[in-house]
Chain A
Amino acid sequence: MSQVVSYEVDTYQNNRWVLECVLDDKDMALSTAKRLYDTKRFAAVRIVQETYDEEVNSSRERVIFETTVADRENRAAKHSQVNSPPKVDRSERHPLRKRPRVEPPVVQKKGTSLWILLLLLCVIAGGGIGLLAFLKGL
Chain B
Amino acid sequence: MAEYTGIERRLVFRLLDYWERQKKERSMPGLEDIKQDDLGDDWDWCFLISLGDEGENPVFVHVGSLIWPTERGLLKGTAVLDCPEPSLIKQATAFMPRVLKLGVPVSIGGECEDGGDKLLYRSTLMPLSSDDVFVDGLFGGANCRKVANG
Interface residues of A (CB under 8 A from B): 19-25, 27-28, 31-32, 35
Contact = CB atoms under 8 A, between A and B. Distances in A.
Given A24-B107, A25-B109, 4 more contacts: A21-B104, A25-B9, A31-B13, A35-B17
24 contacts: A19-B102, A20-B104, A20-B105, A21-B16, A21-B104, A21-B106, A22-B102, A22-B105, A22-B106, A22-B107, A23-B108, A24-B107, A24-B108, A24-B109, A24-B110, A25-B9, A25-B107, A25-B109, A27-B9, A28-B9, A28-B12, A28-B13, A31-B13, A32-B13
Interface residues of B, number: 15
B98 interface: yes
A57 to B, nearest CB: 16
B129 to A, nearest CB: 16
Interface string B62-75: 00000000000000
A123 to B, nearest CB: 116
Nearest to A24: B108
B95 to A, nearest CB: 9
B104 to A, nearest CB: 5
Nearest to B98: A22
Contact of B107 (A19, A28, A35): A28
A21 B13 CA distance: 12
Given A28-B9, A32-B16, A22 B109 contact: no
B22 to A, nearest CB: 15
B12 A22 contact: no
A19 B104 contact: yes
A24 B104 CA distance: 14
A25 B106 CA distance: 11
A7 to B, nearest CB: 10
Interface in B81-126: 98, 102, 104-110, 122
Contacts of A19: 102, 104
Contacts of A27: 9
A28 B106 CA distance: 12
A28 B12 CA distance: 9
Nearest to B9: A28
Q: Nearest 3 CB-CB pairs, A to B?
A: A21-B105, A23-B107, A22-B106
Contacts of A23: 106-108
Interface string B3-39: 0000001001100110000000000000000000000
B103 to A, nearest CB: 8
Contacts of B104: 19-22
A62 to B, nearest CB: 19
A22 B125 CA distance: 10
A40 to B, nearest CB: 14
